[in-house]
Each structure stands twice: as structure tokens, then as C-alpha cells.
Structure 1
Amino acid sequence: MTEQDLIIFLHIPKTGGSTLNTIFKRQFSVEEIYDHELFQNEVIPLDQLTERQKNDINAFAGHHLYGVHEHFQKQHHYFTMLRHPVDRVLSLYSYLRNYPGYERLKDMTLEEFVRTEPEANNCQTLLLCGYPVQYDLNLAKERLESFDAVGITERFNESLYLLKAVYNWNDIHYNKVNITKKKLRRADVPKETIKLIEDYNKLDMELYQFAKELLQKRLNGLSKKEKKEMKKFIQAQRALNKQNKKAKP
């Protein structure tokens, strides 16, 4: 990997990606990162970037389907973060109900959301399959295996340390951002609805399990020194999280 290679963060919505993105951006200058259509303080859609601008971009983050690398003439490297499908859908529903453009969800029940909204149905598999739009579980797994690193939200700190080890990142301590204040949790939802979400996300359920195993395999491959460093980082981050929680009014 060289400094001129393109590192792509495939940001799947409601997987802790906003927090991860703040850390990702910290590793690059504003002149070389394309962050959700923002480049050098200007909003520029991907298909409107000039070849010169593309050449300057060494880091890319956004809610895009797999295949972003085809817009660039550079060596590329992908990473992403997955989340348990039930928790992701609950978080997404809570978040979108107060998001501009989704006013239709105001009076929509969670069950209706799951049955009718594409974003609540195997979205993680879809984004990893890329174009043409398809729901191919085997293809999604192949994509994940080709990525430099794959994390899961439920093991955010371990996932973050793996990214540090892979890309040699600096300063990965963080404060959580873009947290939905009023969100549903599993305890708030009937078991029948949990089952409904699982049924509508069968591909994502299997993909998530695959991602968990892939993460563990790569964590097992860390050196003894790296494992010790990871343990220290996790302890320090937990202490920071506690401190931030106490400081909240």
C-alpha cells in the first residue's frame, strides 16, 4: 500500500459509521478526503468530480454501493462496518422518523416500515453487492473477504484497533457522534416484531454472522504485541466513555 492508494470506507447507515468516519477523517488532510459528497469544503457529487480532483483523493467515505473504485484510476482498498440487522433496523427507524424527506414515517408503525421500506430489508447485503442492484449473499461474502478490514458495531473497539493495525492510523480514541436520542431498543419491541425484522433480513442475518467470524479470524492473526496494545486501547477507551457519560448534563 502506498500513500497514493485510495482507501474507501463503505459506510452502511446506522452501524456506528459516523463515529468511525470522524476517526477516518482524522488520518487525512481536508485536501485529500472525499467525505459524503464534500470535497475541499465544497459539495460535489461523485459523478461531477474532475479527473484532477479524483487524482487528489486518497480517502473516500460515503453511503454508496460497492463499486466506487471504478470511478478512480488508483489502487484501492475497502473497509466497512456491519451491525446486527435487528438493531440496525430499530436504529434506522428511530432516526429516519425525524429526518427531512422521510415525513411519511411519522405515522408509520415499525411493522409497516419493515414491510414496505427497502432500507429495512437486507440493506447490508445490497450495498456490498454493488451494481447492478442485487441481493446475492455469496457475492456479498466475497466482497467482505476481499476487504482489508471488516468490523462489527457490537465490537467497535476491537474493529477500530484492527483498522489501526491495517492502515497504521494514529489517535483512534473517540467520542460517539450522530447518536439517535430517542430510539427503540429490543426490550421495547414485541418478540413477533423482532421475528418479522429477522424474516425480512435473512440475508443480512447470515452476512452479519459471516462478518463476525471474519473479524475474529483477523483479530486472531494479530501479533502478541498488537493484542496487548489492543487490550490497553480498549481499557482506555472504556474509561473515556465513562468519563464522557458522567460529564453529560
Structure 2
Amino acid sequence: MRNTLDIFIHIPKTGGTSFNRIIQDHYSAKRIAFLHDDPEWSLERLIEKCRDKNQKIQIISGHLPYGIHEWIGRPYRYITILRHPVELVISLYDYIKSNPLHQYYPLVVDKSLHEFISEQQFDLFTSNLQSKILGLATIFPHFPALQNEVAVEDAVFPDQACVQQHLRRHFACIGVMEKYKECLQPMRDALGWKRSPKLYRENYNTNRTSLDTVERDTIEKITRKNSLDIQLYSMVVERWYSSKGK
């Protein structure tokens, strides 16, 4: 579709940094807007640039929620990468705990994983984060400025039917981190890339917590708190990456 804007929703800890390297392989710098990497980019500047007919931007990437297309007024298609919710929560915990610059680091550094998932103040990260990010476009104006991580109001409870409708209607392709190699070819086909993507492994934490070392009650609690994300993840795997869904 002519003048289509590709929008990559970079959900934290889903391999998005590696995918951004792939984006750089397939688009010239003047056609890319990395919202979360360039301090000069803001939502206001992004919307202004994407609306400008003289600009060359073809793809944007950032820790942003579904809905930005409503402010741009161009044909669009979304892409994103999901991760199994249990692995995602553990990875977010490891990331925050190992990053002194993260806004939650002072609150998390001395806490166990079980304490992290048990405290309500961390529900942004520990309860259906992926469904929140992919949820109702109408809540987008209420999001604060996007800084180190996606800013999603804790009170937002995602409508799962609406999330799945967004994915069916407005996403060209949805990857899953656990099948990263498999999702690159569908990404290429959906976005019309002329050559096969290279496989990168960026921002990999060598000291991450192994799932095998996590207590069963902690895993069960993460599962209970992420029932919507588990349903969402299962639906995507079934539709895009299983022999039954193909």
C-alpha cells in the first residue's frame, strides 16, 4: 500500500532491540524513527514528522502502545513480538534489578522475584503487560511521556476481545520470541523486504534467572496474574506458528 507507515510496538524484553538491528538493515536512516533511542524524538515530533508529506519516514519503533495511528492519518500496519508471560516477567525483573538507571531499580534491587510479583506497585510489569500495550486505542491520550520503559497506567485493565480484534485487523505480522528464527520470514513477507533478515542477539542478559530455579508457587502466581497474556500468547502461537494454524 502506497505511503504505508509500519509501526513496530517494541514490548520490553521481547527481542525488540535485536529486531531494531534488522530494521536498520532494511530501511535507510532517514526512513526510520526510533522513538526510544533518540532523545530528540518525542511523541509530538514523531506525529508531526509522520504527517509531513515531505518526510520519508516509513517505519517507527518504540515502547509505545497501540493507537498512535489515530494521530498520524496515514495508511498503517502494526508489527510486534510477544514473549511467554512467565519468561517476560522474570526477564523484566532481572533487567530492572541489574540496571541502576532504571526508575524502579531502588525499589527492586533488594527484593526477591516472589516479592516483586507480589507487590501491587509493580503490577505494570507483572500483570498482563502485553495485553495492556496492545489494548484500547482510546486510552492512548492518557499515557504519560514514554521514557525508559513503556508507560501504561496501572489502572488499565485490558479488554481481551478488543486486543485480539486489533491483532486480527491491524497487524501485518506478530512474532514470538521463543520462535524468533521462525518469525523472521513471515516478517519479511509481510513487510516486503527484498532479502532475508540476519539474526542478531542484542541486549542479552547472561545472568538471567533460569526458569528451572524458580519456585513453583512463584511461577503459579505469575501465571495467575497474567491469564490474559497467556491467552493472547497461545492464540498468536496457534494462529501463526503451529501446523494447525497454517
TM-score range, shorter chain: 0.7 to 0.9
Aligned position for 2:34? 35
| CA–CA distance in structure 2, aligned partners of residues 81 and 45 of structure 1 | 23
Instruction: State which of 151, 156, 160 in structure 2 corresponds to 1:137.
Output: 160
Q: How many residues align?
A: 218
Distance change >3 Å, CA 71–CA 37, structure 1 → 2: farther
* Superposition TM-score, scaled by structure 2 size: 0.82
Instruction: State which of 187, 200, 213 in structure 2 corresponds to 1:188.
Output: 213
> Which runs of 5 or more structure 1 residues have no equivalent in the other structure?
222-249
State the secondary structure of the residue aligned to 2:204: coil
Contact 2:128 2:228 in 1 (8 A): yes
| CA–CA distance in structure 1, aligned partners of residues 197 and 244 of structure 2 | 17
Instruction: State which of 41, 60, 74 in structure 2 corresponds to 1:44.
Output: 41
Higher relative contact order (CA 8 A, sep 6+): 2
Equivalent residue letter for 2:41:
I
Distance change >3 Å, CA 82–CA 49, structure 1 → 2: closer
Aligned position for 1:71? 71
Q: Tell me which structure has the larger Cα radius of gyration.
A: 1
Query: Whose helix proportion is higher, 1 or 2?
Result: 1
Contact 1:66 1:129 in 2 (8 A): yes
| CA–CA distance in structure 1, aligned partners of residues 51 and 19 of structure 2 | 23
**Cα displacement (A) at 1:181:** 2.3
**Cα displacement (A) at 1:43:** 1.8
Q: CA RMSD in A?
A: 2.0
| CA–CA distance in structure 2, aligned partners of residues 103 and 177 of structure 1 | 25
**Cα displacement (A) at 1:36:** 2.4
> Which runs of 5 or more structure 2 residues have no equivalent in the other structure?
140-155
| CA–CA distance in structure 2, aligned partners of residues 128 and 52 of structure 1 | 23
- Calculate percent identity across the aligned residue pairs: 30
Distance change >3 Å, CA 38–CA 54, structure 1 → 2: farther
State the secondary structure of the residue aligned to 1:65: coil
- Residues 178-213 of structure 1: CA deviation (Å, up to 9, x unaligned): 111211121010111110110111111111101111
| CA–CA distance in structure 2, aligned partners of residues 159 and 145 of structure 1 | 17
Instruction: State which of 171, 182, 185 in structure 2 corresponds to 1:158.
Output: 182
